[in-house]
Structure 1
Amino acid sequence: MNILLVKLSSLGDVVHAMPAVQDMRRALPQARIDWVVERGFAPLVERCAGVARPIPCELRKWRKAPLARDTRREWREFRADLQRQAYDAVIDLQGLTKSALVARVARLSATGKRYALANRTEGSSYEAPTRWVAHESFEIAPHTHAVQRSRELCARALGYAVQEALRFGLHARDASRQAALPDALGVRAGGEVAFIHGTSRDDKLWPEAHWLALGRRLIESGNRIVLPHGGGEEEARSHRIASGLGSGAQVWPRMPLDALTDRLAACAGAVGVDSGLSHIAVALDLPHVQIYNFDTAWRTGPLDAMRARQRSVFSAPSPSVDAVWDAWRDVTARTT
């Protein structure tokens, strides 16, 4: 059976779709699973166990100049690449017009079908064309976690039950480096703890003074702080925090997403705001505390099945340093 998933973006949404792939691998071990994704996120999908072929596209770029010669050429190349394989099932996990377009362009087998969401779920975007091009669409309960929404849609489309076990299947490429690390990392002396402070929305940020206070506690406990960033203001913030923490902190150079994933996987744990990189830390099964200024952790934060190693902390306008520190001590105590 050949299956095509359409989940184009954004980074966190791509990560949240990965457990659906692991479900399909268990239920349909002979299936081939391809995945259409924005080119910038394709290196991450390559690291998702069970994905035979990531198919990169650049719809974000193309729609800025839809009639340009390069756009037309690149679209033709993408369409030819997409149609190399006929699919028995095309599943639109995005629920938007752009993903519906991709699903419609994909080539079906003689008995193939397209599947999609039939409704909007809380906190997620949704556009009607996704169900117009589908042979079957499925209604999902509105108050559903982003991970569970994708899992349920795939299960109903392909006729299997969602199992309780939750796996993302995201692996670092440098397996030797991973093997050298203990399985239960906790707050062991010398372990690197990543501070994932960057996010696409300023109202999701945690105050810099809080990062400094938390960093000092972790350094006193024998850890080192590492600071990934995406450049620009994130890089400047990384340097300000590192400067405030002294020799116990290090700013990472800016690096591609795949290299960043590998580097993060070797950390002892992470503390992060609601962002794509923070969701990668969850998928890597790192001890992790995720910080929320809004009561949306139920939709995108660590699920109950992962509470032994990961925890979300919510408070408005921002969680306190003590609340995050207590959550960190709790998750690391459970993993040591």
Structure 2
Amino acid sequence: MYRKILIVKPSSLGDIVHSLAFLSSIKREFPRVEIHWVVAKGLEGILDGHPLIARLFVVDKEGWKNPLLLFRTLKELISLGRELKKESYDAVVDLQGLFRSGLITWLSGCPVRVGFSDARELAHLFYNRSVEGGRAGHAVERYLKLARLLGVNGEEISFAFGPLSPSPVREGYFVVVPGARWPSKRWPTEYFIELLNMMAPSGLTPVIVGSREDISLSQAIVEGLRGRCINLAGKTDLRGLCSVIRDARFMITNDSGPMHIGAALGVRVFAIFGPTDERLTGPYGEDSLVIKADGIDCRPCRKRVCKSMRCLYEIKPRDVYTILLDSGALLDSVQRDSPGL
């Protein structure tokens, strides 16, 4: 039915991971379709070389936000539109649902432009096929609504990652994600230190991951653990990050991009949630557990900055440790690493 489809999903990392379920569903239903993808600079690593994606268009999304670069932005958009028109797509799907992504969808010149009728920033004005539901339900399920609009019938959900190399870390470790894009989503660093010191008798090695922006807080954790960990913050590309997460026993994480990678790869995820709504952006997987404070009337507020951060400070390290014990994660670790058990 379709010869060539363009996915417009520039960011963010977690949303791109969720979009892999859309990619999988399209390729299952239409195995011969050629898929192209518009992705933001800096995030192309998770899609580059993917066997299900024939072409990537990498755009300077952050640069486009700078009003001083307006002329350059317009020039880049016009150039991108010309390139997209040359491809003669059968359908273009805007999974981002914002003005710029809607504009890219329209600039493609494609006769079938798909998105949500309730998309933000008037993006829906650029579509000619739409469905309601862009703001309710989990992101994975929202994207699959658009897949059904294209004719996908199956209900199976899977996340199509490209080939990954073996983890550079030897077995017997768990992943820790102390960072997050919003300051309000970061569980206190001192809480991570206290929790990881409690977990030391398990014999598992904490492996700290994150971006270059997370280096300082990751280093604080290293010092708090007196070096009894591996710090990979700022030292892996996206493919390497996926490899490290995939081979971990489990992960302890804030609401972050790496959290979604872990859930999609089937890793056991313990996700600490504060101001965001886990029903919309929580880890999508059977082995995922959301840890949140009870009785906090103001959550989820979705504030990027918060003076009190009560919803996170109320989640004590001892509480998280108890959850890990009750889940069997630490017991499983002891059993796996102890001869004769």
8 Å CA contact 1:313–1:323 kept in 2: the answer is: no
From 187, 191, 199, the equivalent of 1:218 is: 199
Q: Which residue of 1 aligns with 2:87?
A: 85
Secondary structure at the counterpart of residue 112 of structure 2: strand
Q: Does residue 148 of structure 2 align to residue 167 of structure 1? A: no
Q: Does residue 238 of structure 2 align to residue 257 of structure 1? A: yes
* 1:92 CA displacement: 1.0
Take 1:74 and 1:17, find their aligned partners in 2: how far apart are those partners?
25
**Greater CA deviation, 96-105 or 255-264?**
255-264
Distance 1:67 1:96, change over 3 A: closer
Q: Which residue of 1 aligns with 2:54?
A: 52
Distance 1:143 1:77, change over 3 A: closer
**Greater CA deviation, 12-21 or 257-266?**
257-266
Q: Which residue of 2 aligns with 1:198?
A: 179
- 1:31-180 matches, within 5 Å, as 31-46=33-48, 50-64=52-66, 65-68=68-71, 71=73, 74-75=76-77, 77-108=79-110, 112-120=111-119, 126-128=120-122, 130-140=123-133, 142-156=135-149, 158-163=150-155, 165-174=156-165, 177=166
Deviation per CA, 1:144-194: give whole Å up to 9, x if none. Answer: 1111111112212x122350x3211124531xx26x99xxxxxxx952212
Distance 1:161 1:314, change over 3 A: farther
Matched to 2:36, the amino acid is: D
Q: Does residue 272 of structure 2 align to residue 291 of structure 1? A: yes
* 1:114 CA displacement: 0.8
* 1:72 CA displacement: 5.8
Q: Which residue of 1 aligns with 2:320?
A: 324
Matched to 1:103, the amino acid is: T
Secondary structure at the counterpart of residue 271 of structure 1: strand
- 1:235-254 matches, within 5 Å, as 235-252=215-232, 254=234
* 1:327 CA displacement: 4.1
**Greater CA deviation, 76-85 or 144-153?**
76-85
* 1:57 CA displacement: 1.1
Matched to 1:274, the amino acid is: D
Q: Which residue of 1 aligns with 2:306?
A: none
Q: Does residue 319 of structure 2 align to residue 314 of structure 1? A: no
Q: Which residue of 1 aligns with 2:299?
A: none
TM-score (norm 1): 0.82
8 Å CA contact 1:172–1:262 kept in 2: the answer is: no
Distance 1:321 1:67, change over 3 A: closer
8 Å CA contact 1:55–1:82 kept in 2: the answer is: no
8 Å CA contact 1:140–1:153 kept in 2: the answer is: no
Q: Which residue of 2 aligns with 1:184?
A: none
* 1:66 CA displacement: 3.8
Secondary structure at the counterpart of residue 157 of structure 2: coil
Secondary structure at the counterpart of residue 212 of structure 2: coil
Query: Which runs of structure 1 show a deviation greater than 6 angstroms over 4 or more consecutive aligned residues?
Result: 333-336
Matched to 1:160, the amino acid is: V
Distance 1:154 1:274, change over 3 A: same
Secondary structure at the counterpart of residue 55 of structure 1: strand
Distance 1:326 1:52, change over 3 A: farther
Deviation per CA, 1:208-249: give whole Å up to 9, x if none. Answer: 2321222123321111011123234x2121111111112421
Take 1:274 and 1:261, find their aligned partners in 2: how far apart are those partners?
16
Matched to 1:200, the amino acid is: R
Q: Which residue of 1 aligns with 2:32?
A: 30
- Note the residue ranges of structure 2 that are not aligned, 5 or more in a row: 297-310, 337-341
* 1:258 CA displacement: 3.1
Distance 1:244 1:190, change over 3 A: farther
8 Å CA contact 2:180–2:255 kept in 1: the answer is: yes
Distance 1:331 1:76, change over 3 A: farther
The alignment covers a number of residue pairs equal to 310
Deviation per CA, 1:31-58: give whole Å up to 9, x if none. Answer: 1111111121111123656222221111
Take 2:137 and 2:252, find their aligned partners in 1: how far apart are those partners?
24
Q: Which residue of 1 aligns with 2:308?
A: none
Take 1:245 and 1:202, find their aligned partners in 2: how far apart are those partners?
22
Take 2:75 and 2:127, find their aligned partners in 1: how far apart are those partners?
27
Secondary structure at the counterpart of residue 226 of structure 1: strand
8 Å CA contact 1:19–1:168 kept in 2: the answer is: yes
* 1:275 CA displacement: 1.2
Take 1:166 and 1:46, find their aligned partners in 2: how far apart are those partners?
22
Secondary structure at the counterpart of residue 197 of structure 2: helix
* 1:107 CA displacement: 3.8
8 Å CA contact 2:117–2:134 kept in 1: the answer is: no
Take 2:187 and 2:257, find their aligned partners in 1: how far apart are those partners?
15
